[in-house]
Amino acid sequence: MKSVDKRRKAYASAGVDVDLGNRLKRRIQSFVRQTHGPQVLGKIGGFGGLFRANFPGMRDPVLVASIDGVGTKLKIAFATNKHNTVGADLVNHCVNDIAVLGARPLFFLDYIGCEKLDPRVFGQLLGGFSRACRAAKCALIGGETAQMPGMYRSGEYDLAGCIVGVVDRVKMIDGRKIKPGDVVLGLASNGLHTNGYSLARKILLEKMRLSPRKIGKELLRVHKNYQPLLAKAPHGMIKGLAHITGGGLIDNLPRVLPKNCDAVIDTKSWRMPQIFKVLQQNGNVDPREMFQVFNMGIGMVAIVSERDAKRAMSMLRAKRIGQIERGSGKTRLIF
């Protein structure tokens, strides 16, 4: 028994505390169970999460998967020592990525890589995952926490998340029916969401010398989950959806456009949040680049027919920001 204790102490002295990891993992059960329904099988802490695939009412269910991270928004969490929002950011970002295909989320798995486990930080991260999963009606069925001394700076970590959802093939939203004359609707963002933080930090923290604590509330606003709103639209109303993340309106909208259509966006058709004006003015950033780095106040775009536009605007709480015209599959901005 003595030799085992010595081995554990040796590993802990090298920076990996296995016992602490096990204690923290036992604590996550209350967070995780709150997200489970009858489709989740097996115990927490197994080698794999179990989800019973049962999709009543679907003729041809198609699984939709996506994986993502939070990016350098984590640097703001480190600087402000506030970690209860970035877990929710990750879940919501992933939910939106599959929602653009019409999918509803089924289950989510997280990955936390860290220099050293901090029980308080770990608890805040898991709380964020659990809260966002419950709101999205998505089961948190597993994850991995890796202690890797020497890989990260002291007090820092990285996050990644994988989501799986389902959509009936006949109800899949793929953009194929988009045509000239259709209307482009924009759903408001809640700030930067999870993109453009490398440039934002350079402008706000380095050039303007603002304190992270002073602007932390603005920069840590949680990435919106649009799926519940989108799910209200009747089948066939929405022809195409684009989640406006890295690449902005310029690079994300073409991902759903037919090759013979352009999305023409009137950039003055919505009120741009003040944070983007501050970034553009103080960073002396070209307006077009702003629309490729940041979401500029539009977190999700929906494309509908002219006859459905008014109803869709009300249902999705969206603004009319442009139209579809003949072209070559690009976004054209009107300033």
Query: Which pLDDT does position 25 carry in this prediction?
Result: 65
Instruction: Tell me the DSSP string of 183-240.
Output: EEEEEE--SSTTS-HHHHHIIIIIIS---HHHHHHHHTPPPP--HHHHTTSPTTT--E
pTM over 0.75: yes
Looking at the chain, the domain(s) classified CATH 3.30.1330.10 span 2-171
183-334: which CATH number, 3.90.640.10, 3.90.650.10, 3.40.50.300, 3.50.50.60? 3.90.650.10
Partnered with residue 64 across adjacent β-strands are 165
295: tokens are: 């979401």
Query: Which pLDDT does position 42 carry in this prediction?
Result: 73
Query: Which pLDDT does position 74 carry in this prediction?
Result: 98
Looking at the chain, the domain(s) classified CATH 3.90.650.10 span 183-334
Q: What CATH architecture applies to the domain 2-171? A: 2-Layer Sandwich (3.30)
What's the average pLDDT block by block, 10 residues per block, for the chain (335 residues)?
Answer: 56 74 67 83 78 92 97 97 97 98 97 93 95 97 91 95 98 97 98 97 98 95 98 97 97 97 98 97 98 98 98 98 98 98
Query: Which pLDDT does position 275 carry in this prediction?
Result: 98
Query: Which pLDDT does position 127 carry in this prediction?
Result: 95
